[in-house]
Homo-oligomer: A and B are copies of this chain.
Amino acid sequence: MAKTHTLGDLQLAIMRVLWANQEATVAQVHEALYPERGLAPTTVATMLVKMERKGVVQHRSEGRRFVYSPTVSEAKVQRTMVGELTERLFGGDVTALVSHLLSEHDTNADELEELKRLIAEREAQEV
């Protein structure tokens, strides 16, 4: 059931604005997204209503305006969505996903260094 926290493209764009600002009015979100997307303000408002119904944002009234804030963290959304994709595409095998990233995405030397560092860091914690 809990299809929760799987967001579409626009929804993620809106969340990014909210995550970056803690909270924002419809107008502010619209303003932030307009340059790349050129959406109508009502589109953003409608989407926010849908997102609230779904439980990923909430709002409070400030005068006539609604101030929206996220109710889920970026990390949680990432966890859910990456987990779902890993499950669907790699049968839940995380190393298969990383392996894929290494072979298909042309990872450069710097990135490889960075990855080694991340793993070493992780190993340190592990103990």
Contacts and interface: CB of A to CB of B under 8 A. Distances in A.
Given A112-B126, A116-B116, A123-B112, A94 B89 contact: no
Interface residues of A, number: 37
A72 interface: no
Contacts of A2: none
Contacts of A126: 109, 112
Contacts of A82: 85, 89, 97, 100-101, 104-105
Interface in A71-127: 75, 77-79, 81-83, 85-86, 88-90, 94-95, 97-105, 107, 109, 111-112, 114-116, 118-119, 122-123, 126
A47 interface: no
Contacts of A77: 89
Interface of A: 9, 12, 75, 77-79, 81-83, 85-86, 88-90, 94-95, 97-105, 107, 109, 111-112, 114-116, 118-119, 122-123, 126
A54 to B, nearest CB: 17
B123 A119 contact: no
6 contacts: A81-B85, A82-B105, A94-B105, A95-B115, A99-B118, A109-B123
